[in-house]
Amino acid sequence: MRQCVLIVSRIFILVLAAAGSVFAQANPDWTEPFPPFHIAGNLYYVGSKGLANYLITTPQGNILINSDLEANAPLIEASIEKLGFKLKDTKILLISHAHWDHDAGSAIIKEMTGAAYMVMDADVPIVESGGKTDFEYGNTPTALYPPTKVDRVLHDGDKVRLGGTVLVAHLTPGHTKGCTTWTMQVTDHRKKYNVVILGSPNVNAGYKLVGNLAYPEIAEDYERMWRVLKSLPCDIFLGAHGGYFGLEEKYSLMKEGGANPFVDPSGYKQYIAQKEQDFRTEMARQKLAAK
Ligand SMILES: [Zn+2]
């Protein structure tokens, strides 16, 4: 019986390891082009089907959120040009968090634009080591990327200003130590909207919430994130992956006309509540397994 349990647990570990390595590989959606479009005010979607990028235009140049995989740089450039803007007008590059699917292309984007790269303090060592110091993926070759110099280190609550636009960096840690949720206000048809661009609420496969030696405060950090996310006023709900906020469905609705489907305060609340519940379920499972 003991032998059997051992074998089963070994198989389980192998399956987990396989899932982890699959996770670290590129998902086909990540490099599949998606039509760029105007969200509201000076905010535009310029990402792929699976990886979200946002362009914020100002009279003094533009802000780009996320650089994605290295392979995405030409896609981002094409999306920006389709909207009538230029990638080289990007003055500031920001990220949702220091994982390769959001920041591997930062070195290329910096080279193409000369933009100032601004990253939350706790994610800076990850970005500048090309992913090598990440608590979970530091030894996963497919999760590594060219180390990129950060030009401004951000702290929780810091403001990024350009041409009259202000973005606020909210530390929402757990998924990475410096995971960042961006907020801004946009004015569209003389109405003001609070925008939330969610960093990531996910507990990835393999994340240890209990007894994590590489990230001992991980569970408290997730708790902090739920508190912050629940405190943010949100009209327009966006995030680091289109899947968080229903990109494809909302884009289709938008093309049909009518009210802007990205204005979705209740969708935001429901999503956060669901993700918090998922976290609590996983936490309970891990606590039980650790007994
Ligand atoms: Zn991530």
Q: How many residues does the chain have?
A: 291
- The CA 189 to ligand 1 mean position distance, Å, reads 34
| pLDDT at res. 26 | 66
Contact 180, 120 (CB under 8 A): yes
Give DSSP secondary structure letters for 68-112.
-SGGGHHHHHHHHHHTT--GGGEEEEE-SSSSHHHHTTHHHHHHH
| Ligand 1 center from residue 97 Cα (angstroms) | 7
Strand 165-171 to 54-58 pairing: unpaired
Going residue by residue through the chain, which has 291 residues, state the pLDDT in tens, using 9 for 90 and above: 444 444 444 444 444 444 443 444 569 999 999 999 999 999 999 999 999 999 999 999 999 999 999 999 999 999 999 999 999 999 999 999 999 999 999 999 999 999 999 999 999 999 999 999 999 999 999 999 999 999 999 999 999 999 999 999 999 999 999 999 999 999 999 999 999 999 999 999 999 999 999 999 999 999 999 999 999 999 999 999 999 999 999 999 999 998 999 999 999 999 999 999 999 999 999 999 998
By the CB criterion, residues less than 5 angstroms from ion ligand 1 are 99, 200
Tell me the CA–centroid distance for residue 141 and ligand 1, in Å. Answer: 15
Tell how far the Cα of 188 is from the centroid of ligand 1, in angstroms.
31
Residue with tokens 């080279």: 111
Ligand 1 centroid – CA 213 distance (Å): 19
DSSP H/E element including 159: strand 159-162
Q: What is the pLDDT of residue 51?
A: 98
Contact status, residue 94 vs residue 63, Cβ threshold 8 Å: yes
- The answer to whether 231 and 41 have CB atoms below 8 angstroms apart is no
| Ligand 1 centroid, distance to 227 Cα (angstroms) | 20
Cα separation of 162 and 91, whole Å?
Answer: 9
Q: Say how far apart CA 22 and CA 100 lie, in whole Å.
A: 14
How far does the centroid of ligand 1 lie from the alpha carbon of residue 269, in Å?
21
Cα of 206 vs centre of ligand 1, distance in Å, is: 13
Task: Say how far apart CA 147 and CA 128 lie, in whole Å.
Answer: 5
Distance of CA 195 to the CA centre of its chain: 15
Question: Closest Cα partner for 114 from 84, 86, 92?
Answer: 92
Whole-number Å distance, alpha carbon 200 to ligand 1 midpoint, is 6
Q: How far is the CA of 14 from the centre of ligand 1 (A)?
A: 22
Q: Determine the distance separating the centroid of ligand 1 and the alpha carbon of 202, expressed in angstroms.
A: 8
